[in-house]
């Protein structure tokens, strides 16, 4: 089964992330076991960097991090693209500082 689910707001799995996940059966199975919101945060973490080099690094890190048991990206503020909830004050301060 090569079909992998995406997230909630990010409802399309980016090609580079999909390729990394499909290339590893264990990672694919772990991905399917995540909640839609957790998958959404991984996708957002991958697509948010401004530099391609950083994005490539994030893609490379997803598979090993899933295998280590991580269910969401570490130290990630969460998806700022969600419109179903307000951004918390602490996240607003982080975004404003950039």
Residues with Cβ within 8 Å of residue 23, at least 6 apart in sequence = 63
Closest CA to 27 of 57, 68, 74: 68
pLDDT tens per residue across span 39-82: 999 999 999 899 999 999 999 999 999 999 999 887 666 666 66
pLDDT tens per residue across span 55-66: 999 999 999 999
CA distance 14 to 23: 14
CA distance 46 to 57: 9
pTM: 0.80
Domain-wise residue ranges, the chain: 15-97
């Amino acid at each position: 089964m090569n079909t992998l689910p995406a997230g909630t707001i990010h409802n399309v799995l980016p090609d580079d992330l999909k390729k990394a996940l499909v290339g590893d059966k264990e990672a694919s199975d772990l991905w399917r076991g995540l909640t839609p919101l957790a998958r959404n945060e991984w996708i957002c973490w991958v697509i948010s960097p401004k530099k391609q080099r950083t994005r490539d690094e994030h893609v490379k890190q997803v598979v090993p991090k899933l295998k280590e048991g991580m269910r969401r990206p570490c130290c990630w503020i969460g998806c700022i693209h969600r419109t179903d909830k307000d951004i918390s004050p602490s996240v607003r301060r982080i975004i404003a500082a950039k």
